[in-house]
Homo-oligomer: A and B are copies of this chain.
Amino acid sequence: MNTQLSDELTRLLGDRFTMSDYERQQHGQDESSLPPMLPDAVCFPLSTEEVAEIVRLCCLYQAPIIPFGAGSSLEGHVFAPHGGVSVDLSRMDKILRVSVDDLDCTVQAGVTRQQLDQSLRQQGLFFPVDPGADATFGGMASTRASGTNAVRYGTMADNVLALTVVLPGGQVIHTGTRARKSSAGYDLTHLFVGSEGTLGIITEVTVKLQGLPEAMSAAVAGFAEFDAAVKAVTEIRQAGIPVARIEFLDEVMVTAINQFAGLNLVERPTLFFEFHGSTTTVHECAELAGEITHAWGGSDFQWAVDTGERNALWKARHNAYFAGLAFRPGCRSLTTDVCVPISRLAECIIETKQDLNESSLTAPIVGHVGDGNFHLMFLIDPAKPEDLAEAERLNKRLVQRALAMDGTITGEHGVGLGKMKFMEAEHGKGALAVMHAIKQAIDPQNLMNPGKMLPPL
Q: Which residues of A contact B (CB under 8 A)?
A: 99-104, 143-146, 150, 154-155, 157-158, 167, 171-175, 177-188, 190-191, 193-195, 210-211, 213-214, 234, 237-240, 242, 277-278, 280-281, 284, 288, 337, 339-343, 371-373, 402-403, 406-415, 419, 423, 426-428, 430-432, 434-435, 437-442, 453-454
Q: A185-B194, A186-B438 are in contact. Are A167 and B100 (CB under 8 A)?
A: no
Please pick, from B104, B184, B190, B442, the residue contacting A415 in the complex, using a CB distance under 8 A.
B184
* B184, A427: Cβ atoms closer than 8 Å: yes
Q: A182-B408, A415-B185, A438-B441 are in contact. Are A342 and B284 (CB under 8 A)?
A: no
Q: A183-B143, A284-B278 are in contact. Are A178 and B238 (CB under 8 A)?
A: no
Please pick, from B174, B410, B454, the residue contacting A182 in the complex, using a CB distance under 8 A.
B410
Question: Which residues of B are found within 8 Å of A174, using beta-carbon distances?
Answer: 427-428, 431
* B167, A434: Cβ atoms closer than 8 Å: yes
Copies held by the complex: 2
* A191, B194: Cβ atoms closer than 8 Å: no
* B179, A341: Cβ atoms closer than 8 Å: yes
Q: A188-B431, A281-B284 are in contact. Are A183 and B145 (CB under 8 A)?
A: yes
Bound CA span A288–B181, Å = 26
* B180, A100: Cβ atoms closer than 8 Å: no
* B240, A185: Cβ atoms closer than 8 Å: no
Quote the shortest CB–CB distance from A67 to chain B (angstroms).
16
Q: A154-B158, A238-B103, A441-B437 are in contact. Are A339 and B195 (CB under 8 A)?
A: no
* B185, A435: Cβ atoms closer than 8 Å: yes
Question: Which residues of B are found within 8 Å of A408, using beta-carbon distances?
Answer: 177, 179, 181-184
Bound CA span A415–B184, Å = 6
